[in-house]
Amino acid sequence: MEVDSEMFKTFCDHFCSHCVAMEKNAYKGTQKHYMIAMAEKQEDETTFVDFCCFPCQMGCKQLVMKQCKDEDFAISNLKSIMFDDEGSLSVAFDPDSVPGWERDHNGFHTEEIFESEVDYFKVMGCEAGNVNKENIEMLQMMEEVLSYPPRFRYTFSYLNSFVALDTTKVKAVFSGTSKPLQINVTLKKPQENESASKSQLTPPLTPNISPANDINSDAVLMKILTVTADIFCDDHRGSKWFIFGLKLGLNVSQLHKIEIQYNNPTQFARESLLLWRTENKTATWEPVAAALESIELKSVAIQLEGQFKEQRPMPTLPNSVLEAEPSLPALNNLVGAKIEDKYHLFGIAVGLNEGYLKGLDKDYPTCQERFNQVFYEWSQVDPNTFKWKTAPHY
């Protein structure tokens, strides 16, 4: 039996879905086959990765291979796909971030690739079997500037050899295909010379941080580091180091690099302060105190202020005043306001129940309100010690 070539191309399992010889209506009603090519290029400490989507046709594959060759890319993976009913393709990475590496978009950012952007008849604005010279010239122009076929373009920049593994595999997970699709991207740590390797045996300082002799001669910085040495060691305060860095005026990229290079919030905060100081060599302690207050560490800010301001001796008060029961507003203003973030420790010191103190976090939004409740509970539980002479000792 003789079979018309157009009908053969339509109904054969391996038909060429983009052949211009096909009958127009048959072409429109047929689900198209496409390819995704992963192409890679290595330059110094940056890995370039492209994912190009093109029609499943030999001529298109040869075009993409030529484009890659001209850009010094090598195709490392090739997958056959079909779009799902949504008609759009997107990609995500697993894991989303890789220690020692930073991912970014190369040149231009493409969130999605639509099937209409891959079908070159739609790109040319014509229909199957009705292509003219102008259509083809326009398509060729788009091919020359890599506007067609569409592609996702990424860079993986190597940042730090102390945390980067020798080889790391990242999954590119595609959405919008008729069947699940994953392609592995392999990141290899660049080879280093012997001197560079020795310099990486210890974690590198964040760029531009002052050397040790400069730090020791900076009296302001030394006092700041002394006061803030361990304030971020617990989980609650440790979670605030990033906001602290932003309040100091550092940007997200700088803080991200610190987070990659070091191991815990105490180190993160210390390096943030060192970096802040290199950018603000003549600044006083006041910006640091303001940053501490903004993250509800007013008591530490007051302690820092005390390092730089002359301390006045406490006046001698008559015994009648010391034995008096303080009013809650006065006690809150004179004691609680100065150490408001230590309400929990103060409550433990005066003998309050641990469960009661933990419950304050849920019922009262600010430290000052919680401290006010601690004072009230103290006055009810142990009125004999609720006196002016007792409060400062805690």
CB 155 within 8 A of CB 46: yes
Please report the pLDDT score of residue 28 as a whole number: 59
- 59: domain CATH number is 2.60.40.2660
Residue 5 domain flag: no
The reported pLDDT for the residue numbered 303 is 83
Tell whether 183 and 261 lie within a shared domain.
no
304 and 323 in a common domain: no
Q: Decide which of 282, 308, 334 is a domain's last residue.
A: 308
Whether 349 and 299 share a structural domain: no
> Does 206 map to a domain?
no
One domain for residues 233 and 304: yes
Are 246 and 150 part of one and the same domain? no
The per-residue pLDDT for 371 is 75
- Return phi, psi of residue 114, to 5°: -90, 150
| Residue closest to 187 by CA, chosen among 164, 162, 153 | 164
Residues 181 and 264 in one domain: no
- What residue has token string 């015994």? 319
d(CA 136, CA 191): 45
Domain boundary among 280, 308, 336: 308
Does one domain contain both 54 and 182? Answer: yes
CB 171 within 8 A of CB 92: no
Q: Within a domain: residue 389?
A: yes
- pLDDT given at position 120: 85
Residue ending a domain, among 308, 337, 364, is: 308
The whole-angstrom distance between residue 56's C-alpha and the CA centroid of its chain comes to: 37
Range of the domain at 368: 319-393
On whether both 72 and 176 belong to a single domain, the answer is yes
Q: Do 282 and 150 sit in the same domain of this protein?
A: no
pLDDT score at 40: 95
pLDDT, residue 174, reads 95
Task: Find the helix packing angle between 286-294 and 298-308, rounded to 10°.
Answer: 170
Q: Do residue 70 and residue 162 come from a single domain? A: yes
Spatial separation of the C-alpha atoms in residues 71 and 146, rounded to whole Å: 10
Answer yes or no: are the C-beta atoms of 261 and 204 closer than 8 Å: yes
Residues 302 and 325 in one domain: no
Q: What is the pLDDT along the chain (394 residues), one digit of tens a residue?
A: 444 444 434 333 333 444 444 455 555 556 688 999 999 999 888 999 999 999 988 888 899 999 999 999 999 999 999 999 888 999 999 988 888 888 888 776 678 999 989 988 888 888 776 778 888 888 888 888 888 999 999 999 988 666 678 888 999 999 999 999 999 999 988 876 544 444 444 444 444 455 544 556 788 888 888 888 778 877 677 788 888 989 999 998 888 888 888 888 888 888 899 899 888 888 888 999 999 998 888 888 888 888 887 545 545 545 654 565 666 676 666 565 656 566 777 777 777 887 788 788 778 877 778 878 887 887 888 877 777 666 554 4
- Total structural domains in the chain? 3
235 burial type by CB count under 10 A (0-12 exposed, 13-18 middle, 19+ buried): exposed
Whether 2 is in a domain gets the answer: no
In a domain, 268, yes or no: yes
Burial class of residue 36, CB neighbours in 10 A (0-12, 13-18, 19+):
buried
